[in-house]
Structure 1
Amino acid sequence: MARSIFLIASLVLCLPAICFAQMVQDHRLEECRLHDHGLQESRRPFTYFRGKGLQLGRPEEILRSDGGYVRRWKSSEILRCTQVDMYETTLEENGLLIPRYIDAPGVAYIHEGSGILGVVYPFGGEFRQKSYVRQVNTGDFISIPDGVVFWLYNNRSEPFKFTCVADTSNAPNPGEPSKPYHLAGGKEQLVGGLLHGFSDDMLSEAFGVDVSITHDIFSRQKDVTITRAGKKFNFPYLEGTHRDGENDVAAEFTFSMHSGKADLIVPDGGWLSFVTRNKLPVLSKVGLSAVRVKLEPRAMIAPLWSPNAHQIIRFLRGDGRVEVASNDGESLLQEDLKENDVIIVPKFYPSTIIAGERGLEFIKILTSDSPTASYFAGGNSVYKAIPAQVVAEALQIPLEEEIYIRQQRRKDEVILPAVRQHEI
């Protein structure tokens, strides 16, 4: 009897500790679940985002040093629900992003300047770490798995800017900002170099040096996250690709998304270039992908939805209009957007983008390494895959009208050029 009472008491005491993380996760999932018609309005989060709730606004500066600065998009309901983190880093000349690893896999798109990327990776099946150093430029896409050490350095005179997106769905705190672990640097409130977490004695023993040396190293650590190098670095071996064999899935961490590598070119419409795990195998360890799109004036992306990926879209140049619909036939977003605006489109929700008179260019990060999409219009429209009589009956229109509509845009896929007025 006493033993039974003890076991019950133990379970009662342990239950909160065991279940708290699962309860928090279940609560977040419930808050972010796509709404059902039977739920109250206050419990329909994506409906709550109707209007500007899908927009992230402007990032806030969270760190600045002589070497550069970091701006982060403030945590919001849409970021927590889609479980992504987003920030922008600018490195000035000789600016060094201190070597670090992060608790969530991430990708970056370089939208201004160029620099040096360094990665240290353990994917070769050996105890020896492998080094990767590469020049990266505007239009390049970078992918870094969680827990992998990397650094970035600006070896040019102009600013080096890149936007980063991290997938926190499997991080220790899903939906919360990702956490960097710096291999060097000073110590401030809530951030600091990892070495400060160890004693001088322990580090002197680990590195095999006198304790006075480790103490001196600590005293030199000033900058946090970003520092400015005293003199320009020289890397004579930047040319070429550092591969250790075809089976090394992490041999490449970058992919060029310049117009010269476009996967789809549409006359009078624009072009797009995408990168998935098929082109950059390391994305299979990251779980993200990207599409870079340039639209000619008044051209548009065919209305689409993705069943397996949230879309994080940053406008790079030009202007345009975005519309997002919900499953209850209401509009979640109808907004004119311009350069540097950011929106998030949740999976399953249909959306479309049309360029303004100046044209439009944007980068889209997707939360899948092999995303899929279905389209409402164009040559690969889902309507055209359904028998005509079924569509006509569903839309309550004459069969002849359905057939006429079906015959339009037969040659246009994904990117739809502007329709001239006399063709309407």
Structure 2
Amino acid sequence: MAGRRVSFVCWALCLGLLWYGSLAQLDFEQRRPSVRGGHRRFRDQSECRLRELQAQEPAHRVESEAGVSEYWDADDQQFDCAGVAAVRHTVQPRGLVLPEFSNSPRLVYIVQGSGITAAVVPGCPETFHSVEQPQRERREERPGQQQASRSSDQHQKIRRFRQGDILALPAGVTHWCYNDGDTPVVAVTVFDTSSYSNQLDRNPRKFFLAGSQRREGWQQERQTEREEKAGGNIFSGFDDGLLAEAFGVSREVVRKLKTADDKRGTIVRVERGLEVVGPRRGREEEEKEERRREGEEERRREDNGLEETLCNARLRENIGDPVKADFYSREGGHIATLNSQKLPVLRLLQLSAEKGRLRRNAILAPHWNINAHSVIYCTRGAARIQIVGAGQRALYDGEIRRGQILIVPQGHAVVKQAKDEEFEWVSFKTNDNAMVSPLAGQTSVFRAIPEDVLANAYRFSREEARRLKFNRDHETLLLRPLSQERRASA
């Protein structure tokens, strides 16, 4: 009998340990970051108890020699809930945005203009190089000067960008860009500060390799007096002698590296134009070459190192061209989506985007974002937007106009209607394969629910339930405006 009791106790203890281990494993699986879907840090639920939403203008403006940076308030409750931050840069012709990196992955949308840019990834080879002397130096050569004195340059790949492009920038990767066009470049950037790539706190940060961070917009309210006096870039705090030895240069070069007395800001003017090594090809040829390289990378899907992945990855895709629309309605408008299936590097960033246009008075069907927050930036026109949660009162019922940002939290239903002119927007989403669930149209929730379920749920007649399901039967997300007669009959 005693032996049976001992066996029973052992069996119960083992069962208890197994049950506890299963719970622990389940808890671990729920909490750990994953490559897909579990990329955002857990936050206190009170941070997303939103009472109202607002269409936001930038809160801080920082002027530089050749441009302006406008920062939205990252401490605002809706930005804090979504775990994002945003900035808009305006770069004048021949303006250079100085090299910098961030603690968060980001997407950049080019509202207007064109230029060149680069993302500098450690460990990747310098695939652009020149063995010839620049023309300017060649003109300054003295007669009889030997060929061996000619300078050369080499650097990582440079990419062109234009209006409608999305640029994908991983966390910690150095980035710079230059406006080589005749019109200002306007670019809106959204940072995912809640990404697991960000191992600091959720405050957005940019670390400049040149220029000064003294008055960068997000730090204005957070900087201490000591930080305000320090200013400068990431080299400013190092000892001059140590840097001189590390780089093998003079102390005078180190002092210039720190740029302590440089008042130009973080966007500087290149008086004679920027000279870099790069092929002189048309836009179409460049895009064709990038797609060819992407095809080779897909066929070579095995990950054999950094050079075969991020070094050769496409970091740019244009979503401004209506030809690339995923949803199109002649009377409603069009929407182009960009996710990691189209731009694989977005798997690393865990971000996606969409670009849309609504024609006059057209409606974007009521829907909610299944697995992402959505950051809407208006690029043209105006629209009425309503956002609702679980309560009876709308969290937002108003307009969004050009240059404003409005955030739609995950699971909150939203509807958009263009005003008396066309409405255009770009949305940044916090999932690399963001999905929406429409409430009206051919692919809607109601279309998939039986009539009798709807009739009993809402006390409808069968005819009313049928109309709810099929009145927009031949439309999807983009709903054309109804005529007065049809609106009255409906």
When the two structures are superposed, what TM-score results if normalisation uses the length of structure 1?
0.84
Residues 101 and 150 of structure 1 are in contact (CA less than 8 Å); yes or no, is this contact kept in structure 2? yes
The counterpart of 2:378, out of the listed 296, 315, 322, is 315
Distance 1:381 1:167 in 2: 29
Q: Are 2:177 and 1:152 aligned?
A: yes
Q: 1:191 to 1:217 in 2, by over 3 A?
A: closer
More strand by share: 1
The counterpart of 1:326, out of the listed 389, 411, 418, is 389
1:62-211 equivalences under 5 Å are 62-74=61-73, 75-122=75-122, 131-170=156-195, 171-176=198-203, 178-186=204-212, 188=214, 189=228, 191-211=231-251
Residues 184 and 221 of structure 1 are in contact (CA less than 8 Å); yes or no, is this contact kept in structure 2? no
Residues 320 and 336 of structure 1 are in contact (CA less than 8 Å); yes or no, is this contact kept in structure 2? yes
Stretches of structure 1 lacking an aligned partner (at least 5 in a row): 1-24, 34-44
After TM superposition, the structure 1 stretch with the greater mean CA deviation from structure 2, 352-361 or 180-189, is 180-189
Residues 235 and 257 of structure 2 are in contact (CA less than 8 Å); yes or no, is this contact kept in structure 1? no
- Aligned positions, number: 382
Residues 55 and 400 of structure 2 are in contact (CA less than 8 Å); yes or no, is this contact kept in structure 1? no
> What corresponds to 1:349 in structure 2?
412
> What corresponds to 2:143 in structure 1?
none
Distance 1:375 1:26 in 2: 27
> What corresponds to 2:59 in structure 1?
60
Shift of 1:27: 10
> What corresponds to 2:355 in structure 1?
292
Q: 1:360 to 1:390 in 2, by over 3 A?
A: same
Shift of 1:191: 4.4
Residues 288 and 365 of structure 1 are in contact (CA less than 8 Å); yes or no, is this contact kept in structure 2? yes
The Cα offsets for residues 159-213 of structure 1, whole Å up to 9 and x where unpaired, read as 111011000003345442x111111224633742212122121112211223343
Any idea what SS the aligned residue of 1:132 has?
coil
Distance 1:123 1:300 in 2: 48
> What corresponds to 1:269 in structure 2?
332
Distance 1:355 1:212 in 2: 58
Shift of 1:123: 7.4
Distance 2:41 2:476 in 1: 39
Distance 2:397 2:107 in 1: 28
1:244-255 equivalences under 5 Å are 246=297, 247=301, 248-250=308-310, 251-255=313-317
Work out which of the two has the higher radius of gyration on C-alpha atoms and give 1 or 2: 2
Residues 121 and 130 of structure 1 are in contact (CA less than 8 Å); yes or no, is this contact kept in structure 2? no
Q: 1:152 to 1:406 in 2, by over 3 A?
A: same
After TM superposition, the structure 1 stretch with the greater mean CA deviation from structure 2, 219-228 or 93-102, is 219-228
Shift of 1:218: 3.7
Any idea what SS the aligned residue of 2:395 has?
strand
Q: Return structure 1 stretches of 4+ with deviation > 6 angstroms.
A: 126-130
Shift of 1:146: 0.3
Residues 249 and 281 of structure 1 are in contact (CA less than 8 Å); yes or no, is this contact kept in structure 2? no
Residues 324 and 331 of structure 1 are in contact (CA less than 8 Å); yes or no, is this contact kept in structure 2? yes
Shift of 1:341: 2.3
Letter in 1 for 2:87: Y
Shift of 1:321: 0.5
Distance 1:134 1:26 in 2: 32
Distance 2:165 2:256 in 1: 39
The Cα offsets for residues 45-86 of structure 1, whole Å up to 9 and x where unpaired, read as 31x22xxx3322x21344212111101012311111111001
Distance 1:322 1:123 in 2: 46
